[in-house]
Amino acid sequence: MMEVKKLKYFVLVTIMPALSIVVIFSYAFIHVQKDIDILSSKIEALTIIKEVERTIFDIQKVRGLSCLEEPSEKSTKNLQLFRENVSKNIISLREKLILIKDRSLKKEFSEFLYVIEDNFFENVSFEKLTEIIYKLMIFSHRISYSFELPLESKLNDYILTNNIVYLLPEIIEHNGQIRAIASSVNDMEFTENQKKIVTTQMDKIEEKLNKLEQNLLQFYKSSKHDKIREDYKKMTQAQKNIIDYTKDELLEKSAFIESYEAYELITKNIEVIIELYNSNLDSLNKSLIEKRRLSTYILFGGLMSMLFVIYINILFYYKNRKFIDKIEELTITDSMTNLYNRRYFDQVFENCLNVQKRTEQTFIFIILDIDFFKMYNDTYGHQAGDRAIKMVAKKLKNSLKRAGDMAFRLGGEEFGIICVGMSETEAFDFANRIRESIENEKIEHKESQVSSYVTVSMGLIVVKPDSMKSTSDIYRYADEALYKAKNNGRNRVFIF
């Protein structure tokens, strides 16, 4: 039997920890591999979205140049170049359709690309081009949801996704609206309606810039990507420059240097934003490489840790056999009452209070003892006293209905109760029910000065979430409340 017992302890202190480490590190490795798959999927999604946005940017340029009333040779040449770029982008997007898993989305997007290709080289109106742009933006959103990009739990990746899929394309489109109107003016002056449209678009840009700056502040708190930080600053400054130019040169002076020059001034931030997309993709690629490297380290570290733990525990087992035998004998319950003992109370009191601070619930502590217990022992004997203690313990245990509530024997005839989530009235009624149930057992106590039966006095403190105190203060206040309960006639509950 002794050998079986030794084997049991050997398994307990050596094999079980090793198995636990295997399980933990296996789970961690699987989790890292899952992160790698997610990141790979995100890179695929961002590759598609990048191409969609590139197409949108070129269509916006086509729209702006098409609005020129008197196009120059240079602008005509650029218009043809951007049309060709759009055609190339559409071919590239078709090749990337295979990455989209959602069949319905893939089919709709493919059909829409054919619609663009069939109609794009005709004389398409400003409104038609704007409609194409907005539909492409919607497809970009749908692609991001298809790959679950907006559901990213990590703050930095969520911020980057939000900027790439939503904020930056919208800023570009608002700029495109201003650019198109600026390009269409040939009488050197804005109409009131054009001013209204430009002002509206400018307000929207400022609104998006504010959101972008908020994202940027959050991103800077933990980001180490200097390239992204630099690109964000460049883009933000470029957009602010356009707002200042629009206010100072276009709206207030109501005159243009030249339509094509206005077009170029407003367009200059496009390449900056495209560069921002590239830096975001680079950061995700770096993150993917780091995750793969981490998975290797985890696997190696898990193996070495497992061997180390096995060695340490074998050493511990052979050199500390006596301590292991003593650990077996330790218990957290009181042998007479089966309530938690004082040792366990001292361990969990602080932890329970910390839990309540985090969950912002009220914390209730009750301390009680049996009235005139020494007289009871002297009159009826210690065996009867033990029975009285067991009766009180049973009543306390039966009164606790919730998983987080605990009762303790703190020593002799003194007990404690920890509860959570009650108001002061509810806690007072709860304590009184316990007190009445004990007296209703009608255990004779003829030496008691407050009742013919065994009774208890109780001190109660209810600590609200916004006035959390230390455990020593809570215990002292409850003890003071118990003292007042005794001084005011016993067999009662007193709230601190």
Contact 376, 454 (CB under 8 A): yes
Task: Report how far residue 30's alpha carbon sits from residue 9's, in angstroms, rounded to the nearest whole number.
Answer: 31
Q: Residue with structure tokens 């995700």?
A: 284
Contact 396, 417 (CB under 8 A): yes
Cα distances (angstroms) measured from residue 243 to each of 107, 179, 250, 469: 40, 12, 10, 54
Name the helix (H) or strand (E) containing 288. helix 270-319
Task: Report how far residue 325's alpha carbon sits from residue 384's, in angstroms, rounded to the nearest whole number.
Answer: 34
413 assigned to active site: yes
DSSP string across 319-379: H-HHHHHHHHH--SB-TTT-SB-HHHHHHHHHHHHHHHHHHT--EEEEEEEETTHHHHHHH
User: In this structure, how many other beta carbons lie within 10 angstroms of the beta carbon of residue 365?
Assistant: 25
CA 37 from chain centre, in angstroms, equals: 21
Cβ burial, residue 333 (10 Å; 0-12/13-18/19+): middle
Task: Report how far residue 452's alpha carbon sits from residue 429's, in angstroms, rounded to the nearest whole number.
Answer: 23
**Residue of 173, 167, 100, 178 lying closest to 136 (CA atoms):** 173
User: In this structure, how many other beta carbons lie within 10 angstroms of the beta carbon of residue 496?
Assistant: 17
Contact 455, 440 (CB under 8 A): no
Contact 438, 395 (CB under 8 A): yes
Of 413, 424, 439, 447, which one is the catalytic site residue?
A: 413
Active site residues: 413
